């Protein structure tokens, strides 16, 4: 069941500050390893974890309890995720190749 939440896009409206109007936000839920979770430690987790890598890291932890389920959400502002770092490194490498070609 948890896989159906990964690599999905959600269009929502959310107020980003008190008293502000709701604005459209596009969220991309990714596999937890894309924001730095250890895949070995995830094997034993009985619930579901979905994450958004940007603009802030948002992580929903959904786990079963004796009376139903529990949802905990964590927000991390100002962090660079594994996914974002990989994309940045790729862009840097592409830029270096372009600069090297232009010098020849």
DSSP the chain: -GGGGTTEEEEEEE-SSTTPPPEEEEEEEB-GGGGT--HHHHTT--SEEEEE-SSSEEEEEEEEETTEEEEEEEEE-SPPPHHHHHHHHHHHHHHHHHHHHHH-
Residue 48: the pLDDT is 87
Residues of the chain where predicted confidence (pLDDT) is lower than 50: 1, 98, 100-102
**pLDDT given for residue 45 in this prediction:** 85
Position 41 scores a pLDDT of 85
Domain range for 95: 2-103
Domain count, the chain: 1
The whole-number pLDDT of residue 2 equals: 62
pTM exceeding the 0.85 threshold for the entire prediction? no
């Amino acid at each position: 069941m948890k896989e159906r939440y990964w690599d999905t896009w959600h269009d929502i409206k959310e107020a980003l500050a008190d008293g502000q109007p709701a604005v459209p936000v596009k969220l991309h839920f990714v596999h937890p390893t894309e924001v730095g979770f250890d895949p070995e430690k995830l094997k034993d987790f009985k619930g579901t974890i979905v994450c958004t890598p940007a603009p802030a890291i948002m992580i929903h932890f959904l786990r079963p309890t004796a009376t139903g389920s529990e949802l905990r959400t964590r927000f991390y502002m100002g962090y660079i995720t594994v996914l974002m770092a990989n994309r940045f490194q790729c862009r840097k490498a592409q830029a270096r190749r372009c600069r090297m070609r232009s010098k020849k």
